[in-house]
Structure 1
Amino acid sequence: MLHVDLLDSLSLNMLLSNTILAQTTSNTWMYIFLVLGILYFGLILFCLMDVLKATFKDPIQKFIWIALILFFPVLGSIVYLYMGRKNKIS
């Protein structure tokens, strides 16, 4: 009887420790994705606001940059930061 109770308590302890580990890992990933999501939307919002406030040499460039950022958010934002900011007048 004691032997069975000991095995039951050991398996219960293992189950609880695995559950706690899974919850901790899940919470860690949740915070990582939260930070990445904030950075993602922050980058897009920053680039869109910068394009809207800027004056470009050719007026059609503003429309092209906005479309590029909206249709390809990460790639469009990175390309704008690298190339588009050089083409604006102010």
Structure 2
Amino acid sequence: MAFIGLGVPEIILIGLVGVVPFALMLYCLVEITQSRFRDNTTKLLWALIVLFAPFLGSLIYLWIGRNQRIASRNF
């Protein structure tokens, strides 16, 4: 990476800025698709919010959206 002029701190920063939001978005999308909501419109709405605003949408889903899921009962 020396030919680009990037040092180790810059590479770590680029990795954090690029990888962390993507991983958070991917986690939220997987959780949304595997969870049950009251209706499919709510599920679709949360998926669109996370897709169109990846970092902020993921944080909002984790803060508000997780409470809207229907708890599954394991018997």
The TM-score with structure 1 as length reference comes to: 0.67
Q: CA RMSD in A?
A: 1.5
Residue segments in structure 1 that go unaligned for 5+ positions in a row? 1-22
d(CA) in 1 for partners of 2:16, 2:49 = 24
Residue segments in structure 2 that go unaligned for 5+ positions in a row? none
Greater gyration radius: 1
Deviation at 1:26, TM superposition (A): 2.8
The residue that corresponds to 2:59 in the other structure is 78
The residue that corresponds to 1:66 in the other structure is 47
Higher relative contact order (CA 8 A, sep 6+): 2
Percent sequence identity over matched residues? 31
List structure 1 runs of 4+ shifted beyond 6 angstroms: none
The residue that corresponds to 2:27 in the other structure is 46
